[in-house]
Structure 1
Amino acid sequence: MRLCRPKSNRGQQSSAMGIERYAGRVAMVTGASSGIGAAITQALLRKGLTVVGLARRVDRVKALALKDAPGKLHAIQCDVSNEESILAAFKWVKGNLKGVDILINNAGVGNDADLITGKTEDWKRILDVNVLGLSICTREAVQDMMTKGIDDGVIIHISSDLGHMSPPAGNIAMYIASKHMVKTLLDGLRKDLAKKKSKIRVGEISPGPVKTEFASNFKQFNPEMLKLIPLHESEDVAEIVICMLSQDPRLQVHDVIMHPTGSAH
């Protein structure tokens, strides 16, 4: 099966199979100010969606607006490690845009805090954003969708291929553990929704290393080293988001694992 297949020629059915079904509807993107989040935000704007970009650096989100794109951008300042900040963002969306139809959980942090000498605050930061923040955003989005009676909503977690393997080094084990948790939370969410007879779709994208400023959080990924390894572009991940949203509602793409061409790990 081709993930990004061309539109079918089955008359009226074809429109239900493309991302066009979400034109004008509300997609929330966390961590939208740079890298993967910025690329996803602009890709959705080009497809005509109303995008709510959440980030601490709200001016950088505002700068992503595209004059020639049919979609509309709303930039909201939000710290995903803070529950009050998340709830305030969802309250604004519900009051002004009637709630969320799509959630892209992209916000993530990482660091080199190892398991023997690492600082508790560094571990906590990873878990607060990558696990708890993602879970709070997911809970609020699902409740929004159910309140609105939306049965074709979509939630996508941006994870990592590291969430499918053992840590190559102890200094990034806490970060990798958080991505394993994301995978487990996704499985649990899918089962919860199925139990409730909901047709809200969920999935995750697990890319390999991406050419973004995120890599600078890890000492081992210095600029010279990054020149020597294959990397994804942020737009590669954004394209997979569009592909997942373009599928017929009967199809739930649960996990897409990405590797840059030439990668050996």
Structure 2
Amino acid sequence: MGIEKYRGRVALVTGASGGIGSAIVQALLKHGLTVVGMARRVEKIKELAVKDAPGKLHAIAGDLRDEASILDAFKWVKDNLGGVDILINNAGVAGTFPFTSLIDTKTENWKSILDVNVLGLSICTREAVQDMLRRGVDDGFIIHICSTAGHTPPNIDGLAMYFASKHAVKVLLEGLRKDLVAKGSKIRVGEISPGPVRSQAVPNLAAAPPELLEFFAKLNNTPLLETEDIAEAVVYMLSQHPRVQVHDIIVMPTGQPF
């Protein structure tokens, strides 16, 4: 029994318009799932259709900073596809550039990180799980795309709030697992924590402090994961027997020096 058991079922992927999200959408389409790609740039999602893939792609607009937008997206899925069976919480942000310390950062920068990485993720999770429970779906799956930042202290100035948000994702995952166990539900949860991935955007470094220039210079000389590596980790997690819950997959590129 592998991922084939989800063939034809509905998977919602947030942050689907590029990078890791795009790779996950296309991997699930190839395995025959009905995939709802959610992002602010709907036109980019529509470009992800895979020729001759057995799965079907739907592109919907959604902004994780706006609860009403999230609720509208879930309503669309319920009204048009019956509901969500798998949720991939992929969307995430690191904050605005140039990065600044916790002493200097403006509140709106912190809010932009927490609204997407923590609150948006939590709202999506709540809506998906409530929908599954209402419909009696007992083999659903919630997957958070976290980061190795959720497992370590901050390793560069100016990213403490981003690291904190990813630590929050890890804690929220375990809390969700225990909430589902308490309800007697067999809905499974898991997270995938990538190291450096080639899709990660590098900001304009013209005004970057020396330590940030050093970090990106190191990153440019570091082996990187491809987005497809993370998509394959999602497929692996979904492919396990219902008795197996793969709780966290840490994926690092071979030879990563930090």
Q: Give the TM-score normalised by the residue count of structure 1.
A: 0.91
Rounded to whole Å, the distance in 2 between the matches of 1:194 and 1:161 is 26
**Which amino acid is the alignment partner of residue 171 of structure 1?**
G
**Which amino acid is the alignment partner of residue 137 of structure 1?**
C
What's the offset of the Cα at 1:68?
Answer: 1.3
Report the aligned-residue RMSD. 1.5
Residue 250 of structure 2 corresponds to residue 257 of structure 1: yes
Larger deviation: 160-169 or 46-55?
Answer: 160-169
String of CA shifts for 1:39-69, please: whole Å, max 9, x gaps.
Answer: 0000000000000000001100000011210
String of CA shifts for 1:21-47, please: whole Å, max 9, x gaps.
Answer: 000000000000000000000000000
String of CA shifts for 1:58-88, please: whole Å, max 9, x gaps.
Answer: 1000000112100000000110111000000
Q: Which residue of 2 aligns with 1:190?
A: 177
Q: Match for 1:28 among 2, 6, 12?
A: 12
Match of 1:51, SS?
Answer: strand
String of CA shifts for 1:101-140, please: whole Å, max 9, x gaps.
Answer: 0000000001324201111111100000000000000000
**Which amino acid is the alignment partner of residue 166 of structure 1?**
P
1:48 and 1:69 in contact (8 A); partners too: yes
Rounded to whole Å, the distance in 2 between the matches of 1:214 and 1:84 is 28
Q: Which residue of 2 aligns with 1:142?
A: 129
1:115 and 1:170 in contact (8 A); partners too: no
What's the offset of the Cα at 1:223?
Answer: 6.8
Larger deviation: 217-226 or 77-86?
Answer: 217-226
Structural mapping, 1:138-217, within 5 Å: 138-216=125-203
2:10 and 2:33 in contact (8 A); partners too: yes
1:51 and 1:73 in contact (8 A); partners too: yes
What's the offset of the Cα at 1:214?
Answer: 3.2
- After superposition, the Cα gap between the structure-2 partners of 1:102 and 1:116, relative to the gap in structure 1 and judged at 3 Å, is same
The size of the alignment, in residue pairs, is 249
Q: Match for 1:118 among 95, 99, 105?
A: 105
Larger deviation: 183-192 or 108-117?
Answer: 108-117
What's the offset of the Cα at 1:226?
Answer: 3.5
1:28 and 1:53 in contact (8 A); partners too: yes
Residue 56 of structure 2 corresponds to residue 72 of structure 1: yes
Rounded to whole Å, the distance in 2 between the matches of 1:42 and 1:185 is 27
Residue 126 of structure 2 corresponds to residue 133 of structure 1: no
- After superposition, the Cα gap between the structure-2 partners of 1:38 and 1:260, relative to the gap in structure 1 and judged at 3 Å, is same
Match of 1:171, SS?
Answer: coil
Q: Match for 1:82 among 43, 66, 73?
A: 66
- After superposition, the Cα gap between the structure-2 partners of 1:217 and 1:20, relative to the gap in structure 1 and judged at 3 Å, is farther
2:222 and 2:257 in contact (8 A); partners too: no
Residue 37 of structure 2 corresponds to residue 50 of structure 1: no
What's the offset of the Cα at 1:96?
Answer: 0.4
Rounded to whole Å, the distance in 1 between the matches of 2:134 and 2:101 is 42
**Which amino acid is the alignment partner of residue 251 of structure 1?**
V
Rounded to whole Å, the distance in 1 between the matches of 2:216 and 2:56 is 35
- After superposition, the Cα gap between the structure-2 partners of 1:224 and 1:167, relative to the gap in structure 1 and judged at 3 Å, is closer
Rounded to whole Å, the distance in 2 between the matches of 1:109 and 1:42 is 22
Q: Between the two proteins, what is the percent identity of the paired residues?
A: 66
Residue 238 of structure 2 corresponds to residue 245 of structure 1: yes
